[in-house]
């Protein structure tokens, strides 16, 4: 009987369990055994694993986080630890390793292929949705929905008190979350690192909102641009004589990454998992699952290295047209 390994690595996100379930159930369907490594690459090094069968993934589809736990493992940069990991993989008779992770995790996995010729397969996940080579990564849709729901609530106060409010969303260096959340909440201003706006333009937009009699304004700020605290301080200082009241801010933080995955994430994670196992069974090696032009594809794992995806300018323009 063939055996494969699976792990989740990097930051957690909603949909990981749905994907683990899909990998395990598909493998079981085709009579392949699955070993789940705990805490990402750490579990490979420490030989910390559990056998996952059809039943062991029951009831996890709708749960956030990851039953396999996750971590970032700096030891994996060292050859000696990778060798240890590979020996554990070999002793377990594992034929291919499925890594549900982001760009950094794919690079770690690729080293196992380069050093020891292991077949490694990447399934993209990150709430940031910036993995080069795929238009979708597991977790993004839920994060956008989580942020949207939080901002809808903040908007009640913002409107009632006629305030200007900055809401900082995650995304690391990327603006995808902010862009979609800005559109979904009708933000007056959306700030993303890929298309930076000078401070005087932000200021003009706030004043324009007030002039138009809007009374309130929501600024969705990607964390890659600046911190909300920093921006609020700068704007409060610059606008102190304009009678717009104190600009408040809120950092949404980890609520974006937690909770039950949206239907879209459950479905995408399930499709990614089934597709990955089926493509492996066809004999493909060292690939990542990619979603492009409405279709699932496989691409060489290395395609995503050293690059990140950026939002297209048209998407950004939509926000501009609809806001101010």
Active site residue ranges = 128
- Kindly tell me which residue out of 27, 127, 131, 202 binds ligand F6P, with binding defined by CB under 6 A: 127
Q: How far apart are CA 51 and CA 1, in angstroms?
A: 14
By the rule CB under 6 A, 5 interacts with ligand F6P: no
Q: Which is nearer to ligand F6P, 99 or 164 (CB)?
A: 99
11 is in an annotated binding site: yes
Contact flags string 204-243 toward ligand F6P, x per CB under 6 A: -------------------x--------------------
SS (H, E, C) 203-238: HHHHHHHHHCCCCCEEEEEECCCCCHHHHHHHHHHH
Q: Which is nearer to ligand F6P, 245 or 258 (CB)?
A: 258
Q: Which of 195, 158, 164, 190 is nearest to 177 (CA)?
A: 190
103 is in an annotated binding site: yes
* Distance of closest approach, residue 110 Cβ to ligand F6P, in angstroms: 19
- Kindly tell me which residue out of 172, 271, 285, 299 binds ligand F6P, with binding defined by CB under 6 A: 172
- Compute and round to an integer the Cα radius of gyration of the chain: 22
- Kindly tell me which residue out of 25, 82, 163, 257 binds ligand F6P, with binding defined by CB under 6 A: 257
Q: For 119-146, give the DSSP string.
A: EEEEEEB-TT--BTT-S--BTHHHHHHH
* Distance of closest approach, residue 148 Cβ to ligand F6P, in angstroms: 16
* Torsion angle in degrees (nearest 10) through CA of 295, 301, 305, 307: -10
Contact flags string 132-171 toward ligand F6P, x per CB under 6 A: --------------------------------------xx
Q: How far apart are CA 25 and CA 38, in angstroms?
A: 18
Q: How far apart are CA 141 and CA 129, in angstroms?
A: 9
Could you give the 3-state DSSP secondary structure of residue 321? helix
Q: Which of 273, 310, 272, 240 is nearest to 26 (CA)?
A: 273
By the rule CB under 6 A, 11 interacts with ligand F6P: yes
Annotated binding site: 11, 21-25, 72-73, 102-105, 126-128, 155, 163, 170-172, 186-188, 214-216, 223, 248, 254-257
List contacts with ligand F6P (CB under 6 A): 11, 126-128, 170-172, 223, 257
């Amino acid at each position: 009987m063939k055996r494969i390994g699976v792990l989740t690595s990097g930051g957690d996100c909603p949909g990981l369990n749905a994907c683990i379930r899909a990998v395990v159930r598909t493998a079981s369907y085709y009579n392949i055994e699955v070993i789940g490594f705990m805490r990402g690459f750490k579990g490979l090094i420490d030989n910390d694993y559990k056998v996952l069968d059809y039943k062991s993934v029951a009831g996890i589809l709708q749960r956030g986080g990851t039953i396999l736990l996750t971590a970032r493992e700096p030891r994996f940069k060292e050859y000696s630890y990778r060798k240890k990991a590979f020996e554990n993989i070999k002793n377990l008779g594992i034929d291919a390793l499925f890594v549900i992770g982001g760009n950094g995790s794919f690079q770690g996995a690729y080293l196992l292929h380069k050093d020891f010729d292991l077949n490694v397969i990447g399934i993209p996940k990150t709430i940031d949705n910036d993995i080069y080579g795929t238009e979708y990564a597991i977790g993004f849709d839920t994060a956008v929905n989580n942020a949207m729901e939080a901002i809808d609530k903040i908007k009640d106060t913002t409107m009632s008190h006629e305030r200007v409010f900055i809401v900082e969303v995650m995304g690391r260096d990327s603006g995808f979350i902010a862009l979609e959340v800005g559109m979904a909440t009708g933000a007056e201003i959306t700030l993303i690192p890929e298309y930076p706006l000078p401070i005087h333009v932000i200021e003009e937009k706030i004043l324009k909102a007030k002039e138009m009699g809007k009374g309130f304004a929501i600024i969705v700020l990607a964390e890659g641009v600046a911190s909300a605290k920093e921006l609020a301080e700068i704007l409060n200082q610059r606008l102190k004589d304009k009678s717009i009241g104190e600009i408040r801010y809120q950092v949404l933080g980890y609520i974006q990454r937690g909770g039950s995955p949206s239907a879209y994430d459950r479905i995408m994670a399930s499709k990614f998992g089934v597709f990955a196992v089926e493509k492996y069974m066809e004999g493909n090696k060292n690939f990542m699952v990619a979603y492009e032009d409405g279709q699932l594809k496989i691409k060489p794992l290395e395609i995503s290295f050293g690059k990140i995806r950026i939002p297209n300018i048209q998407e950004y323009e939509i926000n501009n047209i609809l806001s101010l």
